[in-house]
Structure 1
């Protein structure tokens, strides 16, 4: 038993080592699909780039997982980049989650993928609170200008009446 265990172990290690160093069947370039921005809100636009298609730089993109359908990837406008570039709009009805975006190179048929994260809030812009604080006391200026004007008029009448009463009392006329 001991004699057969060593050759089988050596053979298993050789197969495992060969599996770890194996080169992909399509060649040496292992670049994938880059989705920018990686996190998008529903209704936002995403840009997809990839250098995986070689010199032809054209591909057919598929964002059907998020509901955006197919899009075309054409050579990038930047000289010497060697990238295919495409854009698609995430539908407003898209639910939050991670979606796989796929592109298939036109000539080689190579399939590359990338991930798109749909969130409810944008990661790029700061969200500031808005509205009034609900304290029960009320605000200095309400949303209704008529009520604000009536409040100011009531305060003016009260101040004028109080001043008149104090002046009369100081003169000795009584109330």
Structure 2
């Protein structure tokens, strides 16, 4: 069985605070995955502890984007670090107790929480698929968002942590 894990698909990432982003189609691809999914769906939210963060708990920015309004998740929880495996719920135990061995990831940010969750998931023995066009990130330091996404693809595929797929490829397998 495969679980769809949607990471940090929150309104706070629309804030100008983050700077230029890539992949304007990410939200549509996330919504397509969520709508078509027939297995367990997990929604993970980032509760930032940083003062003034657009993702601070209790703020509008902390809420999920409207693309998830019709999603009926099997599990919703928050985290304060990059990996969904280190949140207020023991995700590994939750998945294991349900016999889930495969996870498909989508969400925000490609090179931060999505990549970290994929790495930890791979280390824990899950078959991880990242729907790369259902993620986006922001320019950082001297690298563009597209360069950071390319680095994530190389890290995850080259390191054996995850398979990289498109939303269409994931949907075709359902």
TM over 0.5: no
Larger relative helix fraction: 2
* TM-score for both structures, normalised by structure 2: 0.19
